[in-house]
Copies of this chain bind each other. A is one copy, B any other.
Amino acid sequence: MSWSKKAGKGRGYHHGNLREALIAAALDLIAEKGPAGFNIAEAARAAGVSPAAPYRHFRDRDALMADVALRGFERFAEALEQAWDNGKPHPYRALENLGRAYLAFARNEPAYYAAMFEAQVPRDSSREVSQASDRAFSVLRQACEALCALIPAESRPPTLMMSLHIWALSHGIASLFARGDSARRKLPMTPEDLLEAGLLLYLRGLGLEGL
The interface of chain A, by Cβ under 8 A from chain B, is 34-36, 117-120, 122-124, 157-158, 160-161, 164-165, 167-173, 175-177, 181-182, 184, 187-189, 194, 197-198, 200-206
Contacts and interface: CB of A to CB of B under 8 A. Distances in A.
A120 B172 contact: no
A197 B201 CA distance: 14
Between A158, A167, A205, the greatest number of chain B beta carbons within 10 A of the residue's beta carbon is seen for A205
Contact of A202 (B117, B119, B177, B201): B201
Contacts of A189: 161
Contact of A168 (B35, B118, B161, B198): B198
Contact of A200 (B167, B182, B205): B205
Nearest to A62: B36
A198 B188 contact: no
A161 B123 contact: no
Given A120-B118, A197-B161, A202-B205, A176 B168 contact: yes
Contacts of A184: 123-124
Contacts of A187: 164
A202 B197 CA distance: 11
A191 to B, nearest CB: 9
B36 A194 contact: no
A155 to B, nearest CB: 12
